[in-house]
A and B are shown apart, each in its own frame.
Chain A
Amino acid sequence: MTDKTTPLYVVCSPFRRVGKTLVSRLLTEFYVVNDRPVAAFDLADEGPQLADYLPDITTIADISDTRGQMAFFDWLIADNVGARIIDVDRRVFKNFFTVVQEIGFFEEARHRSIEPLILFIIDPDPKSAKAYTVLRHQLSQVSLLPVRNQIEAAAIPYGDAPSKVNIAPTSLDIPLLGSSLRALMDRQSFSFSRFWRAPPADLPVSLKYELGRWVGRVFFQFRALELLLGCA
C-alpha cells in the first residue's frame, strides 16, 4: 500500500452523446502531459470509445459477469497504478454502481489511499437529474461532481440545469469550442497531450490560441480537483 493518495475518477452519465469519452480523454491526457502514471478503463461497448483515442493506455473492461468484475475491480484496487480514470458507458451505468455498492468498492479504495470522485455529466433531461439525485443519495460518502459539458449540449439552456439537479456548489465546466476545432479533436489521431506539448505547425495561429486556451482552462480545473481530493 502506498502512502500517497491517488485519484480515481468515474466519468459517467446514464445518457449517450453527453461527452463522457471527451472528459475521460482530457483527464487521462492531463496526467500524460505531466508524465504522471495513469491508467484508463473503458466500460463502453459502442464507439467511438476511449480505447479508440488512447489505445496504449486504455484497458477495455467488461463487468457483466463475476469473472469480469474480478479482473477489473481487483486490478483497479491494486497498488502503484497511479491515477485511474473509468469511462462508464450509459449501458453499464446501473450495473456499475450496483456492483460498486454491493462489494463496497469505494470504501476499500479509500482504505487503500485511493480517493474516488464521480464526475457526472449533467443533461437537461429530467431522468438525468433523477439519476444524479439517486447517486448522491446512495453514495453519500463519495465526492460527486456535476460536469457541464457545453460542447455536446451547447444548444441546451444550461442556466436551468443546476436548480433542477440540485448540484453541489462547484462543478466542472467543459467550455464551448468552435466547430472546426471540435472536428479536429474528434479525430481519433488527435491527442491533447501532443497538442499541449507541440501544437501542429499547420494549424492557424488563432485556432492554436483558442484550443490552447480551452485545454488550459480544463487542465486548470483538473489541477484544482486534485487539490480538492488531496492528491496533488
Chain B
Amino acid sequence: MPHFRLGFCATYTLHIVEVYRGLIMTKPAVVLIGGDKGGVGKTTVARTLLDYFARQELRVRAFDTEVPRGTLKRFHPDVTDVVDINHVPDQMRIFDTVNSTDATVSLIDVRAGLLSPTLRALGNIGFIEAAKKGDITFVLFHILGPSIASLDEIVDTAAYLGDARYFMVKNFINNTYFFEWDEATHAAYFKRVPGAVAITIPKLVEMAAEQVDLASVPFATFIANKKQSGAPASYSFVLRGYVRHWLETISAEYDRVGLTDILDAKESPRPPIGRPRPIIKIAES
C-alpha cells in the first residue's frame, strides 16, 4: 500500500539522517577558566568568551563556581548556573551531563584558588582521561597574574593537563603590569608546557568597564545599547565604541588561536557497522 511505502521510505531516510548525524556530531567541549590568584580577571575573560561563543553561534552553558554570589550569572543569567565545584552533586551536574546536554560547550568559571583542586578532581573522575582519548574537547584558559608566583602555577597546572588545549592568558584589563616578568623567566616557564598558547586581553577604558559592570549586561548587549531585558538603554556612545573595539580585538585574538575550530571539532567518523537497516516494524505500525 502506498501508505506503508511512504512510511517505510520516511523512516528509512530518518534512520540514515540519524546515522549521519551520529557520524558528524560535534564533540562536547569543556572550557575551564581559572587561576589560583584572585582579582586577575577570570570572570571578565569568561564573559568575553560567552560573547564570542554567542557571536559564533555555538550553543553554550556556563557554570559559575563563585557560590553563592555568582558574578558571571549576574551578566549572563540565561545560560549560567551557580555551582559549588567542591560539592559532588554539583560536579555530577556539570560533568555527567557533558554528553547529554544540547550545549556544545560547557564553560566553567573556576573561582580563585580552586583551579588546581578542580583539575585534580577532574583527573580523579576520569575526565582528563576521556579528553586524552578524544571523547571530549578540553580547553583550559589559565589567567595569569603579574607575580612570579603566578608562573609557578603554570608548572602545577601542567601536571594535570593531559591533552587539554592550554591557553595562558595575560589579562591587562585590571590595569595589570607584568612587571615581575622578564622575557627569559617567563619563556622558561612557558617552555614547560609544550603546545601552550599565550593570549593577551587588552585593557579596557576604565570608565567603560565600570559602566558595563553597573549595567550588569553582557559586553555585546552593552554595545547594542540594550538592557538585560532587551529594552533599549541609553549608554554612552563613546563607551559603547570603546567596548566594541576592545571586544573585537579579543575576538580577533580568539580567532587567531583557532578557538572555534577547536570547540567545533567533529567526532572522528566511525565506519558504520554493516548497512543501516530500515526500522520496518515502526513504519508498518
A interface with B by C-beta (< 8 Å): 66-67, 69-70, 73-74, 77, 102-105, 108
Say yes or no for B96: interface residue by CB 8 A criterion: no
Dominant SS among interface residues on chain A: helix
* Alpha-carbon gap, A103 to B242, bound state (A): 5
Determine which of A66, A70, A104 lies in contact with B244 in the assembled complex, contact meaning CB atoms within 8 Å: A104
Other than the given A66-B238, A70-B236, A102-B245, 17 more pairs (CB < 8 A) read A66-B205, A66-B208, A66-B239, A66-B242, A70-B207, A73-B238, A74-B236, A74-B237, A77-B237, A102-B242, A103-B240, A103-B241, A104-B244, A104-B245, A105-B241, A108-B237, A108-B241
Instruction: Count how many chain B residues have C-beta atoms less than 8 Å from C-beta atoms of the other chain.
Output: 13
Closest to B235 in A: A74
Q: Is the CB of B238 within 8 A of A74?
A: yes
Say yes or no for B213: interface residue by CB 8 A criterion: no
On chain A, the residues within 8 Å of B207 by CB distance are 66-67, 70
Say yes or no for B255: interface residue by CB 8 A criterion: no
On chain A, the residues within 8 Å of B241 by CB distance are 102-105, 108
Closest to B206 in A: A66
Shortest CB-to-CB span from A142 to chain B, Å, is 15
Q: Is the CB of B238 within 8 A of A70?
A: yes
Closest to B243 in A: A103
On chain A, the residues within 8 Å of B236 by CB distance are 70, 74
Shortest CB-to-CB span from B19 to chain A, Å, is 48
Closest to A103 in B: B241
8 A-B contacts (beta carbon < 8 Å): A66-B206, A66-B207, A66-B208, A67-B207, A70-B207, A74-B237, A104-B241, A104-B244
Lowest 10 CB-CB distances: which A-B pairs, in order? A103-B241, A66-B207, A70-B238, A102-B245, A73-B238, A70-B236, A69-B238, A104-B241, A74-B237, A74-B236
On chain B, the residues within 8 Å of A70 by CB distance are 207, 236, 238-239
Closest to A71 in B: B238
On chain B, the residues within 8 Å of A67 by CB distance are 207
* Alpha-carbon gap, A74 to B241, bound state (A): 11
Closest to A100 in B: B241
B232-260 residues with Cβ-Cβ distance < 8 A to A are 236-242, 244-245
* Alpha-carbon gap, A66 to B244, bound state (A): 15
Chain B CB count within 10 A is highest, among A103, A104, A105, for A103
Q: Is the CB of A103 within 8 A of B237?
A: yes
* Alpha-carbon gap, A108 to B237, bound state (A): 9
Closest to B246 in A: A102
Shortest CB-to-CB span from B236 to chain A, Å, is 5
* Alpha-carbon gap, A105 to B236, bound state (A): 12
Shortest CB-to-CB span from B215 to chain A, Å, is 15
